[in-house]
Copies of this chain bind each other. A is one copy, B any other.
Amino acid sequence: MQEKTAKFILTKWQGREKAQSEELVVSEYPLTIFFNQQELVTLLCTPENLKALALGFIKTEGLIKSIEEIASLSVDTAKGIVEIKTKESNFIEEKLYSKRLIPTGCGSCGKGGLFFNIIDSIKCKPVKNESFLVVDKVYTFMKKILAASEIFRLTGGLHTAALCNQDEVLVVCEDIARHNAMDKVIGESLLRGIKLKDKIILVSGRVSSEMLLKTAKLEIPIIISKSAPTHLAVELAKELNLTLIGFVRGERMNVYAHDWRIK
């Protein structure tokens, strides 16, 4: 079982100066729920209250009406599995529940039980790319993409994502969902005939393992966020040779992995 947070050594930049620092990063833990021996869903979650999470999930999805219907509920924290059995074993029709979060897995980076049961059929190799980015560009890119939508993003909860090259911002899109904003940027780039491979992704929201894997699969070497990464995103970035930057605020930022791409 993991802690709620994990410690990482990262590089803190302030203007053009940098220093090593130890910081806490929020944990991200894949939990697979089996319901009457059927695999129901894999949730990416904070590793606490797992029993409550599984129970709340099947309740809000309408699979049980009351707790009296439960015959057994066991949590295997090492494997990241919850098994629930009901007294009357009802079969679930696929359409009755939402597969809320099934990240596409990463064959090359299984670590113990962490990626247990996550689909690993999609290839995900370390990013081979030596390109770099001048530190000032990180600050100016972030400032630029946030400026246009600042008020509405703060009040309405919109997320912004952008594609940049080493010199300028090429595409900016917004959406209520982090993943959608990123997919819109990818789609718009394809429509405009912009190659993704050597570019940079900027996002306003949190970087979870899913966002990181998307970036790696597109062979984009740098992802920059205004917000925090999860510990799983940091671990994946380290392994996949991807530069991961978080907390870009004014002329400050944290580089969580592969700082060598920042000059």
Q: Would you give 13 A-B contacts (Cβ < 8 Å), ordered by A?
A: A4-B174, A26-B152, A27-B176, A44-B177, A52-B183, A53-B187, A55-B186, A60-B183, A62-B122, A67-B190, A96-B119, A157-B206, A157-B228
Closest residue of chain B to A93 (Cβ to Cβ) is B121
Q: Which of A99-107, A129-137, A139-147 contacts B (4 or more CB under 8 A)?
A: A99-107
Copies of this protein chain in the complex: 2
Which residues of chain B are near A183, meaning CB under 8 Å? Answer: 52-53, 56-57, 59-60
Main secondary structure of the interface of A (DSSP, over half): mixed
Q: Mark A185-222, 1 if CB is under 8 A from B, else 0.
A: 11110110100000000000010100000100110000
Chain B min CB distance to A209 (Å): 10
A52-B191, A228-B156 known; A100+B176 contact, CB < 8 A: no
The yes or no answer to A86 lying at the interface (CB within 8 A) is: no
| In the complex, chain B residues whose CB is within 8 Å of the CB of A184 | 49, 52-53, 56
- CB proximity of A233 to chain B, nearest CB, Å: 11
Residues of A within 8 A of B (CB): 4-5, 24-28, 43-46, 48-49, 51-57, 59-62, 66-67, 95-104, 119, 121-122, 152, 155-158, 173-177, 179-180, 182-188, 190-191, 193, 206, 208, 214, 217-218, 227-228, 230, 247
Residue of chain B at shortest CB distance from A26: B156
Is B55 in contact with A190, judged by CB distance below 8 angstroms? yes
Partner of A46, one of B98, B174, B191, B247: B174
Residues of B contacting A156 with CB < 8 Å?
5, 24-26, 228
Question: Chain B contacts of A4 at CB under 8 A?
Answer: 174
List residues of chain B with CB within 8 A of the CB of A214: 60
Residues of B within 8 A of A28 (CB): 176
Asked whether A104 lies within 8 Å of B191 as measured between CB atoms, the reply is no
Residue pair B43, A180 in contact (C-beta under 8 Å)? yes
Q: Is the CB of A60 within 8 A of B101?
A: no
Q: Are A46 and B176 in contact (CB under 8 A)?
A: yes
What is the CA–CA distance of A214 and B228 in the complex, to the nearest angstrom? 28
**Residue in B closest to A179 when the chains form the complex, CB atoms:** B100
**A179 proximity list for chain B (CB < 8 A):** 100
Q: Taking CB as reference atom, which chain B residue is nearest A46? A: B175
Distance between Cα atoms of A228 and B180 in the complex (Å):
18
